[in-house]
Each structure stands twice: as structure tokens, then as C-alpha cells.
């Protein structure tokens, strides 16, 4: 009898859970329906409501719509409206433009971070040796006044010394087996922000050595002293973009708060010719000797610009102004191995594993335009 009661209680709990889940599911459907209706009332064109609901559920209304609608809206006495002809797919494409650019920033900054840590470790080892007691001696570095004491030399060294006790490999292995932890091992366990603050406390000789690691000094007219300033500005801007990207921030129209002293680069470079923004990040990366972060980021930017502006050429002017680049949109389309249609966006409903080719080549190979996404840009 007791077992039967327990079984009944368990069954009742399962029924309650199922009913709650069902209610939640229907509540989400109602919420998505109301969001779709609201967007349509604001003059946004939504040709495939199921497609729109799918992406609203994946990315969220706030992230997708409120985060990326600003180039496409206006307000008047009656409220907020979308400009004539603006589609849901256009906002989604801009969102994916930024999302893919953000992922490229993360990948490029991780690559650069590894290079910076290796260079700093080499400089420190050359100047002070490989034992942690030697290369972490506070007398080896130049202290600077900081508004925030958290980023003082002493506190930076305390943060680095804490990493000496890490249980993560390879630090733990070197500590237990070799009795020393050389800088190229220790620095692997440090945050990018910590290593940049640490480099900022280098004395002139060590900063000069960092400059020779990061820049092709012999092929530039810039002085080493100028390159020292450029190096630190570059590192703090890269850190700013890396942190923003890692936390899901909007990248394509971001203006970093970190100051880049452009006068140290060239007399031809100023805030007028190179305002803050993504193109400034591209420029300061182009000055580095190690080219892969720049190449990967430039490739991602070019790909996304061509993808979005091929589908929505009216956005070329806006993005060109925001990114401070000349956009000459190529007619690129997307195809799959399972259909004879080409698409102006890789996010068209039902498309899987899209491949990018020129529209001219797609037509020559017998592909025909998709009635849904190609019609939107006619």
C-alpha cells in the first residue's frame, strides 16, 4: 500500500511537470506571435513568420531586433516605424554580420594574445633569467601611478605570483618536477589584461625589446620611442575589442574608449582620416610584424561585407560610413549541393551548408534565383 502511494505521488508530480512545460511552451508561442504582430504593425516586412519565430527564439527579441534595428527605423508622433521595404531578413543579416565579425575578433585576439605572451616571456627571460624569483622581482620594473590601485605594479605582480600556485598544467608540472616556472610557462596561465598591464611596467630597455619583437623596426621611419607608445595603445585597444567580443557586445559600430595617439604613426593619420572604429583596429593591426590576426580579421570583414551588401546593397553606404571603408559590393550568392537555386542570403529558410560563389558563375552553372530571398531585393 505504501509503495502504491509513492507511485501515485510520483505520477502526479510528472503530470504537474508536463502540464507546466506545456503551459510554458504555449506561453512562448503566444509571446512570439505577439512579437511578430508588433513588428508587422511597425511596418517590418515578414514574409515567413515561422522562419522569423525560429530566429527570435534562437537569438532573442532584444538581441536581434532591439540590438540591430537602429539603421532601419524612424520615430514620429505615432511611435516607432521601420522604413519602407525593410525586411526581417535584413535585420537578421546585419545581426549575423556582427556575430560573425565578433567571432573573428575573438579568434584573432586569441592568436595575438599567444604571440604577445611568447614575446613578453622571451624579453623577460633574456633580461632577468628563467627563475620566477628573479623575473618577478619588483625592482626589475618601473612603477607608475594608477588611479585604480588594482592595476598598480605591486598588485599586478601579486596577481602573476598567484598563478605560480595554479593546479593547471603545465605550471603544476614545472613546479613539481623542475622546481622553477619559466616565464613562457607561467604567462600561459595569465589573463590578456594582466600581461598587458605587466608589459606597461617594463623599463625602457625591455619595452624596446618588445618593440623589436612586434614591429619591423628597420623597415619603418618611426622611432623606437614612438613605437613604444603605439605598441601600448595597440595592446589596450585590442584588449578592449577582445573583452567586448567575449561578452557578446556589438562590434561593427563600436568606438573604443581607449585612446590611440595617431600622431605617433604618421603626419598623414589623424582622427579625421582614421576615426575610432573597426577600421582603426584593422589599421593598428596592420602595423604589426605578425600578420595572421590582421589577415584573418580582414578576410572575415570582407566576406561579411560582400555577403550582406550583395543581399542588401542599400546598406553599403551606411556600413561604409560606419566602418570607414569603401564598399564595392560584389554580386555574390549562395548555393547548396541539394538544390538548383541560388540565394542572396545564406540564412534563407531551409538552406543548409551554403557555399558562396559569384552570381554570374551560379547562373552560368544553371542555378536559378530563389523566389523567396531574391524577390526581396528586386
DSSP string, 231-251: HHHHHHHHHHHHHHHHTT---
Does residue 232 share a domain with residue 365? no
Q: Residue 377's pLDDT is what?
A: 45
Q: How confident is the model at residue 30 (pLDDT cuts 50, 70, 90)?
A: low
pLDDT at 249: 96
pLDDT given at position 265: 78
| DSSP-derived 3-state class of residue 336 | coil
pLDDT grade, residue 174 (50/70/90)? very high
Q: Does residue 153 form part of some domain?
A: yes
Range(s) of the domain holding residue 372: 331-378
CA-CA distance, 378 to 374, in Å (whole number)?
7
Q: What does the alpha-carbon distance between residue 239 and residue 143 come to, in Å, rounded to a whole number? A: 21
Q: Which of 45, 61, 86 is the last residue of a domain?
A: 86
Res. 27 pLDDT band, cuts 50 70 90: very low
Q: What percent of the chain has pLDDT over 90?
A: 66
**Residue 188 predicted with pLDDT over 80:** yes
Mean pLDDT of the 79-100 span:
97
Say whether both 368 and 259 belong to one domain. no
Q: Is 378 exposed, middle or buried (0-12, 13-18, 19+ CB in 10 A)?
A: exposed
Q: How far is it, in rounded angstroms, from Cα 252 to Cα 95?
A: 10
Q: What percent of the chain has pLDDT over 70?
A: 88
110 lies in the same domain as 215: yes
The answer to whether 358 touches 350, Cβ cutoff 8 Å, is: no
Higher pLDDT, 355 or 139: 139
pLDDT level of residue 253 (50, 70, 90 thresholds): very high
Q: Are 146 and 201 in contact (CB under 8 A)?
A: no
Same domain, 130 and 242: yes
Instruction: Give tens-digit pLDDT for 100-111.
Output: 999 999 999 999
pTM of the model: 0.81
* pLDDT in the model for residue 331: 72
- Check whether 26 has a pLDDT greater than 50: no
Residue 23 pLDDT exceeds 50: no
Buried b (16+ CB within 10 A) or exposed e, 125-143: beebebebeebbeeebbee
Question: Quick one: which of 249, 219, 255 has its CA closest to 237?
Answer: 255
Q: Are residues 24 and 129 in the same domain?
A: no
Say if residue 116's pLDDT is above 80.
yes
The distance of Cα 295 from the centroid of its chain, to the nearest Å, equals: 15
Q: At which residue does the C-alpha cell 505615432 appear?
A: 78
139/223 same-domain check: yes
- 20 pLDDT band, cuts 50/70/90, is low
Residue 100 lies inside a defined structural domain of this protein: yes
Q: Using the 3D structure, point to which of 86, 111, 140 is the last residue of a domain.
A: 86
Q: Is 128 found in the same domain as 191? A: yes
Residues paired with residue 333 on neighbouring β-strands, in sequence order: 357
Mean pLDDT (whole number) for 66-77: 96
What is the grid cell recorded at 261? 595617439
Is residue 332 a contact partner of residue 356, using CB atoms and an 8 Å limit? yes
Can you tell me the mean pLDDT for 137-146? 87
Same domain for 220 and 335, yes or no, is no
Q: What is the mean pLDDT of residues 246-269?
A: 87
CA pair distance 87, 45, nearest whole angstrom: 4
Q: What are phi and psi of 361, to 5 degrees?
A: -70, -40
Say how many domains are in the chain: 3
Closest CA relative to residue 353, chosen from 371, 335, 372: 335
Q: Find out whether 174 and 180 touch, Cβ atoms under 8 Å.
A: yes
pLDDT for position 63: 95
**Do 138 and 206 belong to one domain?**
yes
With 70 as the cut, is the pLDDT of residue 349 above it?
Answer: no
33, 173: one domain: no
Q: Determine which helix (DSSP H) or strand (DSSP E) holds 27, and give its type and residue range.
A: helix 2-41
Amino acid at each position: 500500500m505504501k509503495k502504491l502511494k509513492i507511485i501515485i505521488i510520483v505520477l502526479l508530480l510528472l503530470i504537474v511537470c508536463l502540464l507546466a512545460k506545456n503551459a510554458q511552451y504555449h506561453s512562448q508561442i503566444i509571446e512570439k506571435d505577439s512579437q511578430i504582430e508588433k513588428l508587422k504593425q511597425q511596418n517590418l516586412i515578414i514574409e515567413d513568420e515561422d522562419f522569423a519565430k525560429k530566429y527570435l527564439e534562437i537569438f532573442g527579441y532584444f538581441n536581434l531586433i532591439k540590438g540591430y534595428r537602429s539603421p532601419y527605423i524612424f520615430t514620429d508622433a505615432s511611435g516607432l516605424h521601420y522604413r519602407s521595404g525593410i525586411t526581417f531578413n535584413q535585420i537578421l543579416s546585419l545581426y549575423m554580420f556582427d556575430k560573425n565579425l565578433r567571432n573573428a575578433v575573438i579568434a584573432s585576439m586569441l592568436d595575438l594574445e599567444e604571440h604577445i605572451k611568447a614575446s613578453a616571456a622571451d624579453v623577460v627571460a633574456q633580461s632577468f633569467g628563467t627563475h620566477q624569483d628573479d623575473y618577478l622581482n619588483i625592482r626589475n620594473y618601473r612603477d607608475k601611478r594608477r588611479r585604480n590601485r588594482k592595476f598598480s605594479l605591486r598588485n599586478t605582480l601579486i596577481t602573476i605570483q598567484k598563478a605560480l600556485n595554479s593546479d593547471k598544467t603545465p605550471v603544476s608540472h614545472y613546479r613539481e618536477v623542475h622546481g622553477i616556472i619559466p616565464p613562457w610557462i607561467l604567462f600561459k596561465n595569465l589573463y590578456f589584461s594582466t600581461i598587458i598591464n605587466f608589459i606597461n611596467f617594463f623599463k625602457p630597455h625591455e619595452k624596446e625589446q618588445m618593440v623589436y619583437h612586434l614591429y619591423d623596426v628597420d623597415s619603418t621611419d618611426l622611432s623606437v620611442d614612438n613605437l613604444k607608445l603605439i605598441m601600448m595603445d595597440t595592446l589596450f585597444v585590442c584588449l578592449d575589442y577582445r573583452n567586448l567580443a567575449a561578452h557578446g557586445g556589438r562590434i561593427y559600430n563600436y568606438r573604443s574608449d581607449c585612446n590611440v595617439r595617431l600622431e605617433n604613426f604618421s603626419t598623414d593619420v589623424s582622427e579625421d582620416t582614421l576615426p575610432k572604429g573597426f577600421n582603426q583596429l584593422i589599421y593598428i593591426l596592420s602595423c604589426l610584424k605578425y600578420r595572421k590576426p590582421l589577415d584573418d580579421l580582414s578576410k572575415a570583414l570582407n566576406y561579411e561585407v560582400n555577403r550582406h551588401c550583395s543581399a542588401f546593397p542599400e546598406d553599403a553606404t551606411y556600413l561604409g560610413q560606419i566602418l570607414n571603408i569603401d564598399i564595392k559590393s560584389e554580386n555574390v550568392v549562395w548555393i547548396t549541393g541539394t538544390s538548383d537555386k541560388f540565394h542572396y542570403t545564406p540564412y534563407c529558410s531551409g538552406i543548409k551548408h551554403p557555399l558562396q560563389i559569384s552570381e554570374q558563375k551560379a547562373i552560368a552553372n544553371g542555378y536559378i534565383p530563389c523566389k523567396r530571398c531574391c524577390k526581396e531585393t528586386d
